[in-house]
Structure 1
């Protein structure tokens, strides 16, 4: 049963140099064709995953704030007809803070969007130019003000641990961000992803990424400053006041079912992992031929599903309930994790057990990847 719907809009005005998401620049977009394609894809999935009203919808990208509000309204109307909506449904749209997109905020709110995720990325103009962003800090602040006038829930994204960024610099920028009045912040360390322009720049020596130790110091500063204002992390990179967490993303991290439509979208339907065609033209061709954009629907083994649930759930501050996962996937709790490693990490203060709940501590979050690699039972991963 689907709990959430993800709609991927693949188009951007420009490809950012750090971005490895499925985004594409096109000179023209046939909105009517895309409306028909996305509705066809929704109809296909609803026939397989209907029965439970949607608790959340997320328009991601790409840059979904480039979509005409009328298209957003049409997709939401069809989703409601196909699945039904929970009375308290969360409907999020990612947006860039350009003036052109901010002008759409009132119409997007009228279309049904009730939460906006605004990609500020930095509050420093030099940093924005380095990150390849097309907006200025002034535009960001104006767009944020407009967003806060039109939406009850607004989240902002920032990228830190940039080259040569000092603790003093980040403290000042984060303090400014925390004073903007949003109840949710997504704070990501800059990662040099393969097959991006930044990966090429690093390879040819155009710039050096920030070293691990100073990056870890900035992570610690981030946790301290957000916690002091009651905006603690609930996932390694996401911070919110109590009750303002992204319900949609919690669906992923709690490993619940969700529908993913649009180019390159992933989904989870029961024991199946679904994947749509990535290139926009290939996606449209698949819709024409098959009535859906599916590239693959792969049945996951119980071991794969349990491993994924652990890897996702341990990103959360709340952690995971081992007995629940054991019941869900048919494993004894002691077979889900490496007990020897878990005991050692608990002595070191990296994880904590409370009853049968396992969670990574504040101290462990900076080295989360290493902890996950050691904790998840080797037999489970290999199965």
Structure 2
């Protein structure tokens, strides 16, 4: 199994995720590992991040990094010098592939042209902007600190500096209907981003919205039927505009797909650095699930003390399940032979035939793919595939 495990990641590539956990405010729908702090010692943080990167690189020599993603939190609250130091540590530890994608997430409220030019000079070549809505009332309801005018201004500032731009929108919001969402989508696509991440609002336990919903005080959310209609409207509008879904929630013009997220969805290796950051890394004939402590201060002390990353071996059969769960989100689907190598057996032929007959999957070129009808019920499709 050893060499096979060490080499399987090459089917998906190799990336680095860097988590910056700090935000100016906590959004009521957010269940990410984000924290509000009055002050951050960026010099101390950049040294700790560089130390963790060097330790990870020492375990995985001979690789080149295809993509780097600064997520959060709000990475655009990082000083450009911190971003530069992290990228220098990655380059020193592994080296970056020619044309590597380097993405940084930003909120419109943290946009400064000078800061953005600093990020570009450090090596960032793709910006992901957290717009979330193009309606001021909805931005207020989502707890966002910017308005639509600020979002548009931030986008224009970024477009003048970065060669590639993506932005996020949330739909299935309170009081939203299909016609209003179609109009908002048309405005978004007219802004000429090359990539859109379009997410249905989900109410998660432990969030402010979750607490309101539990008390019956979060009204106006779409029912299941309207949510499905909003999803279908999203797919139709984006496809008509030349931005078809290459993944369930992500749309891009041809060639503009987010390469870092493709590392995840194709089940490559990725190093996670920072508080709560997850990773999957193949070392010594095994694939390891890695995770850092969630608390920023806890992570910082651990990193300074010689290592903040915890690890647990992922059994081959579990790898197969993870790979299929991620890959079936993609339009390209999953290589069936790869699944069989990891699982020790292929998908059940009867289950595949049943799902094909229902029009939920297609099989061809050695791959299994979810159809347009299968994507909205992907969890049920996967349950059937794994139910052997």
Please tell me the TM-score bracket, short chain as reference. over 0.9
Does 2:312 align with 1:302? no
Does 2:310 align with 1:264? no
- Residue 245 of structure 2 corresponds to 233
Q: Which has the higher contact order (CA 8 A, sep 6+)?
A: 2
- Residue 222 of structure 1 corresponds to 234
Does 2:321 align with 1:292? no
Does 2:66 align with 1:50? no
Contact persistence 1:66–1:101 (CA under 8 A): no
Aligned equivalents of 1:101 and 1:15: distance in 2?
A: 21
After superposing on structure 2, the runs of 4+ consecutive aligned residues of structure 1 that deviate more than 3 Å are 99-103
SS of alignment partner, residue 104 of structure 1: helix
> Which residue, 16, 21, 34 being the options, matches 1:23?
34
> Which residue, 81, 89, 93 being the options, matches 1:82?
93
SS of alignment partner, residue 86 of structure 1: strand
Distance 1:123 1:82, change over 3 A: same
Aligned equivalents of 2:41 and 2:349: distance in 1?
A: 55
Aligned equivalents of 1:92 and 1:50: distance in 2?
A: 23
> Which residue, 58, 73, 80 being the options, matches 1:62?
73
Distance 1:377 1:355, change over 3 A: farther
**CA deviation digits over 1:304-338, x for unaligned, max 9?**
111100111101111001112323x15232xxx34
Count of residues in Structure 1 that have an aligned counterpart in Structure 2: 372
Contact persistence 2:21–2:73 (CA under 8 A): yes
Does 2:367 align with 1:357? yes
Output aligned runs, 1:339-378, within 5 Å: 339-378=349-388
Aligned equivalents of 2:80 and 2:90: distance in 1?
A: 15
Distance 1:97 1:11, change over 3 A: same
- Residue 324 of structure 1 corresponds to 338
Shift of residue 164, structure 1, vs aligned partner = 1.8
| Unaligned segments of structure 2, at least 5 residues | 1-8
Distance 1:100 1:154, change over 3 A: closer
Q: CA RMSD in A?
A: 1.3
Q: TM-score, normalised by structure 1?
A: 0.95
Aligned equivalents of 2:39 and 2:61: distance in 1?
A: 34
Aligned equivalents of 2:222 and 2:272: distance in 1?
A: 34
Shift of residue 163, structure 1, vs aligned partner = 1.8
Aligned equivalents of 2:113 and 2:130: distance in 1?
A: 12
Contact persistence 1:92–1:115 (CA under 8 A): yes
Contact persistence 1:338–1:374 (CA under 8 A): no
SS of alignment partner, residue 67 of structure 2: strand
Distance 1:100 1:112, change over 3 A: same
Shift of residue 367, structure 1, vs aligned partner = 1.2
- Residue 329 of structure 2 corresponds to 315
SS of alignment partner, residue 267 of structure 2: coil
Q: TM-score, normalised by structure 2?
A: 0.93
> Which residue, 30, 45, 65 being the options, matches 1:34?
45
Contact persistence 1:99–1:139 (CA under 8 A): no
Aligned equivalents of 1:112 and 1:355: distance in 2?
A: 38
| Unaligned segments of structure 1, at least 5 residues | 379-383
Shift of residue 110, structure 1, vs aligned partner = 1.1
Aligned equivalents of 2:377 and 2:253: distance in 1?
A: 24
- Residue 94 of structure 1 corresponds to 105
SS of alignment partner, residue 354 of structure 2: helix
Aligned equivalents of 1:40 and 1:67: distance in 2?
A: 17
Shift of residue 345, structure 1, vs aligned partner = 1.7
Does 2:290 align with 1:274? yes
Distance 1:250 1:100, change over 3 A: closer
